[in-house]
Chains A and B, each alone.
Chain A
Amino acid sequence: MLQINNLHATVGGMPILDGLTLAVKAGEVHAIMGPNGSGKSTLAYVLGGRPGYEVTEGSVTFAGKDLLAHEPHERAALGLFLGFQYPVEIPGVSNVQFLREALNAQRKARGEEPLSGGDFLKLAREKAGLLRFDMEMLKRPVNVGFSGGEKKRAEMVQMGILDPAFAVLDETDSGLDIDALRIVGEGINSIMRKPDKGVLLITHYQRLLDYVVPDVVHVLVKGRIVRSGGPELAHQLESEGYEAVAA
């Protein structure tokens, strides 16, 4: 479903990704763990097409298409969702307005009819309920005044509404308390744990992986995958540290 081949990328001229290769099949959840500065967030942004993140070599194929040849908004319409480590505040634009524009722009790009206001609200209510997210908060401007945990849960509500084929979740677990972590974990499972979907979960800690059990765990060090294994690898990392495991 997602095939990353020998990916090299720079940020502000600095090489960060150094020959990263990775393949996620439909129905799989992969976790990427790694020390600070290993390139985890860079990988997420490169996949999401953020300006300033330049691919110098390699390729990314998503659902049979050359992902890197598409603009960020086109990637979303192809079914790629990027969960932000630091969700962005947009004063003056409500979540409802934002998400309805987003969903209908994606539908339009796929040649589907737009969703009516009523149908959209019904969908939003359902997904907000799934994440135990107050519907009233969706009427407020995007992420403005939300706590760290609320922003992360709002991201998952967005994911639920947009219903992507593939999600790259960049440290979705950071800033969450124990209860919120469980709710978000269950949310990811119910939205994305499907035979035709895939997830790339970027995380520092094993905690989230107790709820969203990965099929494969990769260790990213200095811009490339140095080791891959099953869920037990995450436990080993947690107890022994990156240096011991990656050596």
Chain B
Amino acid sequence: MNALALPTSRDEEWRYADFAALATLAPERFGEWKEIELAPGEVRRKCLVLDGSEPELHRVRLTVGEGARAELFAVNAGSDYTRLEVEVRLAKGAHFQFGGVTIGGGDATREFVTRTVHAEPEATSHQVVRAVHWGTATGNFLGRIDVARGAQQTDAAQDFKGLLLERGASANAKPELEIFADDVKCAHGAAIGQMDEMAGYYMAARGIPPETARNLLVRAFIADAFKALEDEAEQEKLLAAALDALGDAV
């Protein structure tokens, strides 16, 4: 795709996007990538909260040098279509850590799209995404993993779980693996469910009001996405931002 060719629903990585919202963006936005390069051995972490009220498109290209470690944690809680797309190229022994939460109601689509290229041997990647939605909102995680020829001892894992608080909300998970090496580990799992009513009742029976119970349960549900974030204050900030979005849920 050249920079100005707009995506269509036939493009796999745009499959669940909100095209009406995309049409409001300037065409040149689609060609804009933020390029970030990590030197060999470098460790870099970024925490993002996307909570705008207009359609948003964020595209990041990460080149992670030998033995370097890139960590990205994000809350995607925009009130209109919000997409964070990350392309990662991992050199030998590099690591990519991604933790993401899409959360929100209304009718917006919020999505994470990652493409992780294990270009050299011994690189690892670990991605955990949680989606919590209500209303007629949609949360998506499209995670593609490419293991290049010769990228032996790749260890890649993807874990997605969706929690739908109301009928009408939806979540899509699309793991995609392309593996050209034989000594690799690639794991992926996806599950979508509803709030555990019995847990809610058990909490009520102990005196916890419904809203607090829901917050505790949602917090427990999304916490996995930020478990790998070592800075507890940052972790707390992201959880608070996500739970803040929960405020207007039913």
Contacts and interface: CB of A to CB of B under 8 A. Distances in A.
Contact of A93 (B205, B207, B216, B224): B216
B33 interface: no
Nearest to A91: B220
Interface residues of A, number: 32
Contacts of B203: 73, 90, 98, 101-102
A71 B204 contact: yes
A72 B204 contact: yes
Contacts of A92: 217, 219-221, 223-224
B198 interface: yes
Interface of A: 48-51, 71-73, 75-77, 82, 84, 87-93, 97-99, 101-103, 105-106, 109, 141-142, 158, 162
Interface of B: 196-199, 201-210, 212-213, 216-217, 219-221, 223-224
Instruction: Count chain B CB atoms within 10 A of each CB in A50, A72, A105, A109 and give the residue with the most.
Output: A72
A102 B199 CA distance: 13
Contacts of A90: 196, 199, 202-203, 217, 220
9 contacts: A73-B206, A73-B213, A76-B204, A76-B207, A84-B202, A92-B223, A98-B216, A105-B208, A162-B207
B202 A87 contact: yes
Contacts of A141: 220
B217 A158 contact: no
A72 B216 contact: no
A123 to B, nearest CB: 15
Nearest to A82: B205
